[in-house]
């Protein structure tokens, strides 16, 4: 597969060394295409001109033009041994430069870092005539790297245990919170029912109070209503006169009340058959109306 076709197929998405190795193994990438692909992965401004260490890794012209995936894989593995590659690897992946340089002599760990298992790599290399043994049993010769790997494994176990612990704690806490929510929801529903019952009782009380209030008012004022069985003409006349005469002027209050009663005698049936006011009834009503709230008849102004 040519480099142009390869780049189009992958849509220029080269985000990890895993992508490079996958393409080489799956598509039989040529050495020249591998060089361009690796150069683009490392974000070089000119992917058609490989970095010097990439060019050094692919220094055999026959390899560069060979469409054999094995040659591309061999050249690529040689590139991994350059210090300059470790520098670029650190920039691209974000790992420390020290870690990147420790990875360089240990190709098996480099494969493991980017997600390849020995069971995936060994069969492919064997098909290409490359026998490297069991990578899973090999240990790096560098003591610092061995310590780094050991610490890494311990940290991975610790983080895995921590994640599992957090997940278990989170699940338990979620169940507790849900149970608490359910309980509070039940309490709120019960309170809501209690409030609804109280509101209903309050409304009943208001209606009953309004009923008795209306009935009481009707009973208290029935004597003023001609249509009411309790209507009393003289009492009604006295009350109306008392309400009407608020300022007697220079007259005595009783005289003012009598004048008002004579004017309205017909309304309250205080007249003789000939239409003249019944003076005795007028006098009785005036006496009733001529009374102060505090008791006693009011005095004549100026008297």
Predicted TM-score of the model (pTM): 0.28
Q: Give 3-state DSSP helix, strand, coil % of the chain, rounded to 5.
A: 70, 0, 30
Tell me how far apart the alpha carbons of residues 124 and 284 are, in angstroms, rounded to a whole number.
132
What percent of the chain stands above pLDDT 90?
0
Between the alpha carbon of residue 114 and those of residues 18, 111, 150, 163, the distances in Å are 5, 5, 18, 22
Question: Looking at per-residue confidence, does 257 or 112 come out higher?
Answer: 257
pLDDT at 102 over 60: no
Of 300, 301, 261, 266, which Cα lies nearest the Cα of 283?
A: 261
Distances (CA, A) of 66 to 75, 128, 162, 251: 11, 14, 49, 139
The 3-state DSSP class for residue 193 equals helix
Provide the 10 A C-beta neighbour count for residue 241: 24
Taking the alpha carbons of 173, 179, 185, 190 in that order, is the dihedral positive or negative?
A: negative
Q: What is the Cα–Cα distance from 231 to 250, expressed in whole angstroms?
A: 33
Structure tokens that stand for 111 in this block: 């494969």
CB 43 within 8 A of CB 21: no
Q: Tokens 């309980």 — which residue?
A: 183
Banded pLDDT at 55 (limits 50, 70, 90):
low
- The more confidently predicted of residues 212 and 49 is 212
pLDDT of 52: 60
**Locate tokens 């142009």: which residue?**
4
For 21, the enclosing helix (H) or strand (E) is helix 17-27
């Amino acid at each position: 597969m040519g480099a142009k076709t390869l780049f189009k197929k992958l849509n220029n998405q080269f985000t990890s060394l895993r992508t490079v190795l996958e393409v080489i193994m799956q598509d039989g990438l040529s050495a020249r295409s591998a060089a361009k692909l690796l150069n683009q992965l490392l974000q070089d401004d000119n992917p058609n001109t490989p970095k010097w260490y990439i060019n050094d890794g692919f220094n055999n012209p026959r390899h560069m033009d060979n469409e054999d995936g094995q040659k591309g894989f061999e050249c690529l593995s040689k590139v991994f041994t350059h210090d300059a590659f470790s520098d670029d690897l650190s920039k691209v992946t974000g790992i420390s430069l020290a870690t990147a340089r420790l990875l360089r002599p240990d190709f098996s760990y480099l494969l493991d870092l980017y997600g390849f298992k020995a069971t995936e790599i060994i069969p492919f290399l064997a098909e290409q005539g490359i026998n490297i043994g069991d990578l899973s049993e090999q240990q790096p010769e560098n003591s610092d790297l061995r310590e780094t790997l050991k610490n890494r494994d311990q940290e991975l176990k610790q983080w895995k245990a921590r994640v599992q612990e957090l997940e278990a704690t989170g699940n338990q806490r979620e169940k507790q919170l849900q149970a608490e929510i359910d309980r509070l929801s039940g309490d709120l529903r019960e309170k809501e029912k209690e409030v609804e019952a109280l509101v209903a009782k309050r409304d009943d009380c208001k209606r009953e109070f309004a009923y008795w209030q209306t009935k009481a008012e009707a009973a208290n004022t029935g004597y003023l209503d001609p249509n009411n069985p309790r209507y009393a003409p003289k009492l009604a006349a006295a009350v109306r006169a008392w309400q009407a005469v608020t300022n007697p002027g220079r007259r005595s209050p009783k005289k003012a009340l009598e004048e008002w009663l004579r004017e309205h005698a017909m309304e309250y049936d205080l007249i003789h058959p000939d239409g003249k006011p019944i003076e005795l009834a007028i006098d009785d009503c005036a006496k009733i109306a001529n009374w102060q709230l505090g008791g006693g008849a009011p005095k004549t102004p100026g008297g």
